[in-house]
Amino acid sequence: KAGVTQTPRYLIKTRGQQVTLSCSPISGHRSVSWYQQTPGQGLQFLFEYFSETQRNKGNFPGRFSGRQFSNSRSEMNVSTLELGDSALYLCASSLGQGEGKGTYEQYFGPGTRLTVT
């Protein structure tokens, strides 16, 4: 079974620009979560999509948005980039339903390293 893939792996953008990151989940997984990881703040939850709907949301400004397509692939968009948005953005997929261990068990992609200059 193929793992979670994220594209691109690396990005360099300038302040004020916008960026779109892509994530393809494991086949059969309907939940996709996005996280921002920085040395200072650790792993922070951005949002989660399940069946094309945003089901959970973290505490990030509206510049951070996402969407999920009918094939469960997800995109994340950051508008008006700031220097502080430089981070590793991780995508994770899971079943997102049911009651077994798989409900919360997340499988992560390799991440997209975003650098804002």
Partner 1 sequence: GEDVEQSLFLSVREGDSSVINCTYTDSSSTYLYWYKQEPGAGLQLLTYIFSNMDMKQDQRLTVLLNKKDKHLSLRIADTQTGDSAIYFCAEGSGGSYIPTFGRGTSLIVHP
Angle at 50 between CA 44 and CA 53, to 5 degrees: 95
Does 36 participate in binding partner 1 (rule CB under 8 A)?
Answer: no
User: Residue 102, SS3?
Assistant: helix
Q: Which stretch binds partner 1 (CB under 8 A): 13-21, 61-69, 71-79, 106-114?
A: 106-114
Per CB under 8 A, 77 contacts partner 1: no
Query: Is residue 96 close enough to count as binding partner 1 by CB under 8 A?
Result: yes
Q: Which is nearer to partner 1, 85 or 89 (CB)?
A: 89
Nearest residue to 15 via CA among 61, 82, 79: 82
DSSP class per residue in 12-30: EE-TT--EEEEEEPPTT--
Q: Does 111 bind partner 1 (CB under 8 A)?
A: yes
Omega into 8 within 30° of 0, i.e. cis?
A: yes
- Residue closer to partner 1 (CB basis): 71 or 103: 103
CB of residue 15 to partner 1, shortest distance in Å: 24
Residues 6+ away with beta carbon under 8 Å from 101: none
The residues of the shown chain that bind partner 1, judged by CB under 8 A, are 4, 31, 33, 42-43, 45, 48, 50, 55-56, 90, 92, 94, 96-97, 101, 103-111, 113
